[in-house]
Structures are given as C-alpha cells and as structure tokens.
Amino acid sequence: MQVSEQVRSALQTDGDGKATRIRLLDFRSAPMRAFHLSWFAFFLSFVAWFGIAPLMAVVRDDLKLTKAQIGNTVIASVAITIFARILTGWLCDRFGPRRTYSSLLVLGALPVMSIGLAHSYQSFLFFRLAIGLVGASFVITQYHTSIMFSRSVVGTANAMTAGWGNLGGGVTQWVMPLLFGAIVGLGADKFLGWRLVMIVPGALMLLTGIAYHRWTEDTPDNRPFAPRTGVDAFWEAAHDYRVWLLFLLYGACFGVEITVDNVSALYFKDSFHLTLKLAGFLASLTGMMNLFARAIGGMLGDWAGRNWGLFGRSRLLGVAILIEG
C-alpha cells in the first residue's frame, strides 16, 4: 500500500487515477491532453458559434434583413443549444467524451462552412440554428475534465477550460473582421468576403475533431469507457434544490454573456457609426474577460467547496451575481 501511495504521489494522481494538479506544460498525460484539447476545441466552437456576429452589418446589407429577422437569428442560434446540451450529456454517458466531442466538431463544422450558401433570410436562419449546436461543446469540455481531475482541483480545471474556451467569444469579435478585411483586400467583393471567411473556423473545427479523436482518452488511466444510463443520477439531481439554484444562477450569467456576444458588435457599429474592425474590437472586451475571470471563479469555487460543499459554491455564485448587478 505504501508503494502505491508513493507512485500516485509521483504521478500526481489520486486513487482513481485522476490528476491532483494542473500542469500546464504537460502534454503527455491523459488528463492534461484532455485539458488542452478540450479548451481549444471549446475555443474554436465559440469562434464558430459567434463568428458571424461581428459581420452582421455586412450580412444585413447583403440579405436585406430587418431588425426583427436579425433578432430571430440570434434567438435561433442560442435556443437550439438548450436541447443540444441535454442530448450531448446523454451521448457522453453513452459513448464517452472522446467520440462525442470528435463527432460534434466534425458535424458542427459543416453548417459553419456552409453558411456562406445562404441567400435568403430563411436559409440564413437555418444555418444559424444548425451552428448553435456547437454550443453544446461546453458540456463535453466540463464532462471530460471532471473525469480527468480529482475533486481537489476539478473546479479550477473546469473553470480554466471553460474560461479559455469562452475566450473564443471575445477573440472572434476582432479576428473575424480582420480576416474579412484581408479577404476583401485581396480583391473579393464584401458580400463574397463574409461567406468565405466562415470557412476558416469550420476548417479548424474539422481538423481539431480529428486530433481530439486521436490524442485524447476517455479515462485518466486509459481504461475502456463504461457506458452509463444516467437515469437514476438524473432524477436524483433533479430532486436537489441546489441543482436548480445553480441552474438559475448560471442561466442569468451565461444568458447575458451570449446575448452580448451576439449583438454588441452590430450595436456599436450602428449606434456610434464605428468601423467594422473597431466595433468588433470593443465587442470583444466582454468575452476577453474569460482569460482570467472564470479561472479565478474556479479557484474560489474549489475553496468554497472544501469548506461548505455545494452550498458554498452556490452561495459564492450568488454573491458574484449581486456584485455584477
């Protein structure tokens, strides 16, 4: 027993093989490969999910969209994610995070690259609805890191991967206008430019999906993934009032964030008559906060969890919302 404890200490794992430390320069162990590839996959998913948002002024002129129609496309891109996340959780339980994430990235890349084929409000609405499915990447990211990291650091691991992934919602606000400007600078018409630029995040998602399948494992010790029905656990969670409290608190926080990601660039351009690039840069500032904000929240969450359990984490989240409000 003493030898096994020494071995686990050297490997920085617990009795279940889960990592007890986050070593950012480690790209060899299964937990850290899952850590790095999951946050990067989530990052690209957010780039793709909100990639069209900073270009909506051009899309609006091209497709002759009304304000109400633009609002409908925003709602569609977000609403579908609710159902996709529930389905993705079940798929993770059934097939494991590795295959689920790989499939989501590869399939999600198709509507991202194909949105340039839209030539009417109806077809553009359809593609935005389909792209919204990639928002379910959050579930797999958190699922995979939860499997790979021990209870002592899982909050920090989840927060860092989610935060760096959410960072994509900010980066895309200034990167996509720059790519659009480069394509137009090469001689393409602006109405062709917004169509071509969306191929970039889609292609990157496709390549990342292949890499995810090849270089990640479902479990920290590389054992075969054991499918779970999840039915009993689901109803047990559904009867816990603290779960619903977290649901409401998270909905309030994340709902505001994705709304801002979707509409802020267009708002800045129309209200202050800014260039597409400057409007995108200003819109990116909210999303860029995820570089450190979520990681800090995860560290505080682990501290609160060690002292007060789930109630402590819930209370900490509530205080954060009150401060933000």
pLDDT tens, 125-165? 999 999 999 999 999 999 999 999 998 889 889 989 999 99
DSSP secondary structure of 209-259:
HHHHHHH--SSTT-PPP-----HHHHHHHHT-HHHHHHHHHHHHHHHHHHH
Structure tokens at 265: 């660039």
Q: Which residues of 242-260 are buried (b: 16+ CB within 10 A; e: fewer)?
A: eeebbeebeeeeeeebbeb
Look at 64-73, 77-86, 285-294 and tell me which has the smallest mean pLDDT. 285-294
Question: Would you state the pLDDT for residue 251?
Answer: 81
Q: 19 forms bridges with which residues in the sheet?
A: 13, 149
Q: Which domains are seen in the chain, by residue range?
A: 30-324 (1.20.1250.20)
Question: Would you state the pLDDT for residue 304?
Answer: 73
Check whether 314 has a pLDDT greater than 80.
Answer: no
Structure tokens at 203: 């292609």
Cα(306)–Cα(308) distance, integer angstroms: 6
Rounded to two decimals, the pTM is 0.85
Check whether 11 has a pLDDT greater than 60.
Answer: no
Q: Is 264 exposed, middle or buried (0-12, 13-18, 19+ CB in 10 A)?
A: buried
* Confidence band for 1, pLDDT divided at 50, 70 and 90: very low
Q: Is 120 exposed, middle or buried (0-12, 13-18, 19+ CB in 10 A)?
A: exposed
Closest CA to 42 of 148, 131, 163, 125: 163
Structure tokens at 144: 């995979």
Check whether 7 has a pLDDT greater than 60.
Answer: no
pLDDT single digits (tens) 215-254: 999 999 888 888 876 566 678 878 888 788 778 877 877 8
Look at 39-43, 98-102, 279-283, 315-319 and tell me which has the smallest mean pLDDT. 315-319
Cα(291)–Cα(288) distance, integer angstroms: 6
Question: Would you state the pLDDT for residue 315?
Answer: 67
Question: Would you state the pLDDT for residue 48?
Answer: 96
Q: How far is CA 191 from CA 58, 61, 197, 200, 229, in A?
A: 7, 9, 11, 16, 48
CB 36 within 8 A of CB 45: no
Question: Would you state the pLDDT for residue 255?
Answer: 80
Tally the residues of the chain: 325
pLDDT single digits (tens) 184-195: 999 999 999 999
pLDDT single digits (tens) 45-61: 999 999 999 999 999 99
Q: Which stretches of 96-222 are DSSP H helices? A: 97-114, 121-131, 137-148, 154-185, 190-197, 199-215
DSSP category for residue 28: S
Structure tokens at 40: 């990067």
Structure tokens at 30: 């299964």
